[in-house]
Copies of this chain bind each other. A is one copy, B any other.
Amino acid sequence: MSKERGRTVEMSEIMVPQMANLLGNVHGGWLLGFLDRTAYVCGARYCGLNLVTLSVDQVFFKEPIYVGELLTCYATVNYVGKTSMEIGIRVTTENLKTGQIRHTNTCYITMVAIGDDQKPIPIPALTLRNEDEKRRFQEALIRRQMRLALYKDKDPS
């Protein structure tokens, strides 16, 4: 029986002044890049294939992230379709002086597996091992339908 591959990843980074905006908080733009990198690692660990980002769902910057904090992204493969997968990422920050942890963001990123000819290729199906995984999968299916609906509307003037 083959060993199952991981479907989660945890990535942390210390917030330094180079990441701050003029108000002294971490740039939304920096965080978006880190989310994308985390989703890539999570998806690649699961399937071992080349991946490109297809979409990033709406991101709300609920709370500021401060210089000096430790940012941690917990990513999970929620859903796998034929050639794409949804990765959910929960972002927390830890104040290293006080130990206080805050949940600052959550977002969903869809990635596509790409073959050597730069065309989409199949991703191994996701086995659902417990109730939590089944719930995540169902919720991801609903988001997928919303995305497809939005996408048709999206072309701008």
Contact = CB atoms under 8 A, between A and B. Distances in A.
Interface of A: 3, 5-6, 9-14, 17-18, 20-23, 25, 27-30, 32-37, 40-41, 44-45, 48, 50, 52-61, 64, 67-68, 70, 88, 90, 94, 96-99, 106, 114, 118, 132, 135-136, 147, 150-151, 154-157
Given A48-B98, A50-B23, A52-B61, A36 B28 contact: yes
**Oligomer copy total:** 6
Contacts of A44: 96-97
B156 A99 contact: no
Given A21-B40, A44-B96, A54-B60, 16 more contacts: A11-B13, A21-B52, A28-B36, A29-B32, A30-B33, A32-B32, A32-B56, A33-B33, A44-B97, A48-B99, A52-B61, A58-B147, A60-B151, A90-B156, A106-B155, A132-B157
Contacts of A30: 33
State the majority secondary structure of interface residues on A. mixed
9 contacts: A17-B20, A22-B67, A28-B56, A29-B34, A30-B33, A41-B96, A44-B97, A55-B61, A64-B118
Contact of A52 (B25, B45, B68, B106): B25
Contacts of A94: 45
Contacts of A106: 154-156
Contact of A12 (B11, B57, B155): B11
